Amino acid sequence: MSLTGFSQIALEEDIYDKFESKFINIDGYNINVEMLGQGKPIFFFAGGPGNSHDYMQGNFGQYYKTNTVVFIDHLGRGLSDNAKDPKEYSIQNDVHITEEVRKALGFDTIALVGHSYGTIVAQAYAIKYPEHVSKMVLINGFYSGEMWQANCDSYNHYVKTHFPEMWEKITALRAEGYVSSDPEFSKLYSSVPSKFVYYHNNTLKQHVPQKKFRGWNSDVYYSIIGKDADFFVSGSMMDTDFRKDLKNLDIHTLIIQGRYDGVSTPEYAIRYKTFMPKAVFEMFENSGHNPYLEEPEKFYRLFEFFLNIKH
């Protein structure tokens, strides 16, 4: 694959000021959608589950110059309404909302770009509505509940072996019956350094707006992954398994993976080559969970080449 002639469109510090919220009423809830640009539409899906669209907009919003870019705060995230019942937070509902947004905006086909949990939504949507998907980009993603469980096991092993002092406190709380969703436990667990997310520079930060916003909603996370999400997967993620469906999915797909990702581990990610043999699979040898931050030049060149973005 030759990338000659393609170059990255520069990130814009004031990118958030260029977008405006448009609220679409779906099933009685106001869902925040931010769209800008002209040309072929690209829908972006954030990680978590529980993250707002903001960091995806910060890293990909600049493509309004060449495409119509669409960022969605799914139910309970960002500026969108909260669910009346936490059971409404699910992978299936995220897919449903995505389809309703597509119809409301009047697009026939869309390209999908998902990061981390966002790849779950992208794949689930593509499997259910393949006729409406032109291309798909999966960045450090997951294809099953089993893989997500491996993610939990991976970073817990990392914490245990690299931060034994913190692990001792964690296991002490668990011995008393605390689980991930308990505030006291969550506060301790979230204080673990996030080196397993990066290859070498864990001071890198996502591009997010300076204004106040709801960047995270733990209720969404624990509803979809389970109340003890850092250790045992349950929720709607537990029964997720795209492997058989991916083999029959005839959508041009780019799969990006970081060699040192301690979240979406290469041990499992490499198996995408079996499930999606026609997909383009690229391992980023100097990245963890966020290759667009750690190897931006290579990342954006490949991203633009695959989506045929010219400028």
Number of H helices, E strands in the chain: 12, 8
Handedness of CA 30, 32, 38, 42 (dihedral sign): negative
Report helix, strand and coil shares of the chain as percent, to nearest 5: 40, 15, 40
Alpha helices, DSSP H, located in the chain: 54-60, 91-105, 117-128, 145-162, 164-175, 183-189, 218-225, 243-247, 266-269, 272-275, 291-294, 296-306
Q: What percentage of residues in the chain have a pLDDT greater than 70?
A: 95
Give me the chain's average pLDDT, please. Answer: 94
Domains and CATH numbers, the chain: 15-144+197-221+237-306 (3.40.50.1820)
305 three-class SS:
helix
Handedness of CA 299, 305, 308, 311 (dihedral sign): positive
pLDDT tens-digit series, residues 216-227: 999 999 999 999
pLDDT tens-digit series, residues 99-141: 999 999 999 999 999 999 999 999 999 999 999 999 999 999 9
CA-based radius of gyration for the chain: 19
pLDDT tens-digit series, residues 149-163: 999 999 999 999 999
pLDDT tens-digit series, residues 5-53: 445 678 888 999 999 999 999 999 999 999 999 999 999 999 999 999 9
Tokens found for residue 211: 């204004």
Distance CA 299, CA 115 (A): 13
CA distance to 113, 134, 148, 232, per residue, from 43 (Å): 6, 11, 23, 30
Name the residue among 9, 17, 14 with its Cα closest to residue 42: 9
* CB contact at 8 A, 224 and 91: yes
* CB contact at 8 A, 9 and 296: no
* Res. 247: pLDDT tops 60: yes
Distance CA 64, CA 218 (A): 30
